[in-house]
């Protein structure tokens, strides 16, 4: 019996998805696990796999087009099966949505007193206008950190055009077109709003002097289905293609995405595809060496100009995208979420002994921060209300425990995320934190490595800070602040002795976490840290 596959909701903010590419066409045999299509969401391009076996009988969304979540994406069934009833019933709503969108776009066009047809007429044949892409759900503008092509340079599909600094990271921006770079819409170091003209590519010698202005004036009138001018973005990661390398690696988009997800250095691979092109099976069959070489993060522009003191002279430093967004988010969090703070002292004597024993094992070295992360993750299992988010008319209780670890960078603060932290052991946590912290400082983190946190930890103990409070990292409902371990006199069994004390501060959003709930969570965390063996129960 035929099964209707609908457009999935791949992120909590997604309302529609765009089919970036179909991997199967009507009439093809489909097996469970086969990639049907690549779906472009408001955050990333994701592979969409089939959950059933059969034949692809119907495609509800053409490649390059968008459709609302839950609308018909495809139909899979037996070869030759009659699906007229399914397509007939599904087509009407989809068509209705399409007509509504078309009507809205036409209204926007009239309001701007400029039609889409007029704009298209102003773009010479063969010319492609590339706009500033939206690389994260919170991005409103992007900054060109570096141009890799100058006006007049020949550009080929897959060539690196520029490095775009977003509110989260610096990402490589590649061309999807062949031609000559005719115009740079944003100068190096400058910023521009999302959807404004970034670059224009076309035949050499084409006059595009008026294209940028027309495009800017009518950007709200552009049809989503026609926005094929955006170059595909591949997030910048240390193990992947270095932006400073002029050597391009022949690799399919899917293989490149898989390599980034798995942390595979594609420069070390020999492709099995045509002309040595790296394809999906090369990534799947990749076997890392026994001792992989440490990959040095690629050089990136300084996030913040070094400040030196000059007597009697005031200086200024322009805010980067990262610092501007940090300021905005922290202000929103502080002024919208009713913060309150709970503090507790932890006797770390047993934790110190446990760490010594663990680190005496071969090839093992963990920090106190790793132990705190592990204990916090396990404590969140017992107190799921703390692992929740405020969503206006409801509270979302998260099904995964993903802990964000605050990392200081020259330009402010980023929060890389350890996914499913409660399922990680000490060694895995230690390796992940070191890797992401190192890449965070060189702006080598991928955007998806800083998304999806359900709880956050900020540790200033290494700077000798005994106690402090933090601002909640939205959409989390709590953040743990970790101070230094200090030797001080304590009372133990009626005697004054020297103890190793660490202070923890928990900031909670009172809309989600009540005082008693926050206190119970801290009690559980205190138990785990003061008696580390309880983590094994």
Q: For residue range 188-240, what is the model confidence (pLDDT) as tens digits?
A: 888 888 888 898 998 888 888 777 654 333 333 333 333 333 333 333 333 33
Whether the CB-CB separation of 126 and 113 falls below 8 Å is answered with no
Q: What is the mean pLDDT of the segment spanning 403-422? A: 89
Long-range pairs for 272-276: beta carbons < 8 A, 24 or more residues apart: 275/250, 276/250
Beta-carbon contacts of 374 under 8 Å, excluding residues fewer than 6 positions away, are 421, 424, 425, 426, 429, 535
pLDDT at 487 over 70: yes
DSSP states along 173-187:
EE-SS-EEEEEESS-
pLDDT at 245 over 70: no
The pLDDT assigned to 205 comes to 83
pLDDT at 302 (0 to 100): 36
Q: At residue 409, does pLDDT exceed 70?
A: yes
User: Is the predicted pLDDT of residue 328 greater than 70, yes or no?
Assistant: yes
Mean pLDDT across 97-125 = 47
Q: Please tell me the distance from the alpha carbon of residue 219 to that of residue 196, in angstroms, as a whole number.
A: 7
Q: What is the pLDDT of residues 261-307, one digit of tens each?
A: 666 777 777 777 656 778 777 777 776 654 333 333 333 333 344 56
pLDDT for res 43: 56
- Residues taking part in catalysis: 510, 514
- Phi, psi (degrees; rounded to nearest 5) at 308: -120, 145
CA torsion 433-439-443-444 (nearest 10°) is -120
Listed residue (400, 390, 393, 420) closest to 508, CA to CA: 390
Task: Over range 416-421, report the average pLDDT.
Answer: 94
What percent of the chain shows pLDDT beyond 90? 36
32 within 8 A of 53, measured Cβ to Cβ: yes
The helix (run of H) or strand (run of E) holding residue 283 is helix 280-284
pLDDT higher for 119 or 412?
412
| pLDDT at 254 exceeding the cut of 70 | no
Please give the structure tokens belonging to residue 226: 């026609």
The pLDDT confidence band at residue 136, using thresholds 50, 70 and 90, is: low
Q: What is the pTM of this model?
A: 0.51
Nearest to residue 500, comparing CAs of 514, 483, 513? 483
What average pLDDT score do residues 394-416 get? 90
Token pair, residue 413, equals: 């603060």
Residue-level pLDDT at 296: 34
């Amino acid at each position: 019996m035929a099964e209707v596959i609908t457009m999935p909701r791949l992120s909590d903010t997604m309302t529609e998805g765009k089919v970036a590419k179909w991997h199967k066409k009507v009439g093809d045999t489909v097996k469970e696990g086969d990639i049907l299509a690549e779906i472009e969401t408001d955050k990333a391009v994701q592979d969409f796999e089939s959950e059933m076996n059969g034949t692809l009988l119907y495609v509800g969304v053409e490649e390059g087009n968008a459709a609302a979540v839950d609308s018909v994406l495809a139909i899979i069934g037996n070869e030759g099966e009659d699906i007229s009833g399914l397509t007939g019933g599904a087509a009407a709503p989809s068509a209705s949505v399409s007509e509504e969108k078309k009507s809205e776009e036409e209204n926007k066009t009239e309001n701007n007193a400029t039609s889409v047809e007029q704009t298209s007429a102003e773009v010479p044949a063969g010319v492609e206008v590339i706009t500033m892409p939206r690389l994260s759900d919170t991005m409103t503008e992007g900054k060109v950190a570096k141009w890799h092509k100058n006006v007049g340079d020949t550009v080929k599909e897959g060539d690196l055009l520029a490095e775009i600094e977003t509110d989260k990271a610096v990402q490589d921006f590649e061309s999807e077109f062949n031609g000559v770079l005719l115009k740079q819409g944003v100068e190096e170091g400058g910023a521009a709003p999302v959807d404004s003209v970034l670059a224009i590519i076309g035949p050499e010698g084409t006059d595009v002097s008026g294209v940028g202005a027309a495009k800017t004036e009518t950007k709200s009138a552009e049809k989503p289905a026609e926005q094929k001018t955006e170059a595909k973005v591949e997030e910048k990661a240390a193990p992947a293609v270095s932006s400073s390398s002029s050597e391009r690696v022949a690799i399919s988009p899917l293989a490149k995405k898989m390599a980034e997800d798995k942390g595979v250095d594609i420069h070390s691979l020999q492709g099995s595809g045509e002309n040595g092109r790296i394809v999906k099976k090369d990534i799947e069959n990749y076997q890392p060496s026994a001792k992989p070489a440490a990959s040095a993060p690629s050089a990136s522009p300084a996030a913040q100009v070094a400040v030196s003191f000059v007597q009697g002279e005031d200086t200024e430093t322009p805010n980067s995208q990262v610092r501007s967004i940090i300021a905005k988010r922290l202000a929103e969090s502080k002024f919208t979420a009713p913060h309150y703070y709970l503090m507790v002292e932890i006797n770390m004597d047993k934790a110190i002994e446990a760490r010594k024993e663990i680190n005496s094992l071969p090839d093992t070295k963990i920090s106190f921060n790793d132990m705190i992360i592990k204990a916090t993750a396990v404590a969140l299992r017992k107190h799921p209300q703390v692992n929740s988010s405020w969503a206006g008319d409801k509270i979302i209780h998260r099904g995964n425990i993903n802990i964000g670890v605050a990392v200081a960078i020259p330009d402010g603060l980023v929060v890389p995320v350890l996914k499913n932290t409660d399922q990680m052991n000490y060694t895995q946590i230690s390796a992940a934190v070191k890797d992401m912290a190192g890449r965070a400082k060189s702006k080598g983190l991928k955007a998806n490595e800083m998304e999806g946190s359900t709880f956050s930890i900020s540790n200033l103990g290494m700077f000798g800070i005994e106690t402090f409070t933090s601002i909640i990292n939205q959409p989390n409902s709590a953040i743990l602040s970790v101070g230094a371990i200090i030797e001080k006199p304590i009372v133990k069994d009626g005697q004054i002795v020297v103890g190793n004390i660490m202070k923890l501060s928990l900031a909670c959003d009172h809309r989600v976490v009540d005082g008693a709930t926050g206190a119970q969570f801290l009690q559980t965390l205190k138990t785990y840290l003061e008696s580390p063996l309880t983590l094994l129960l």
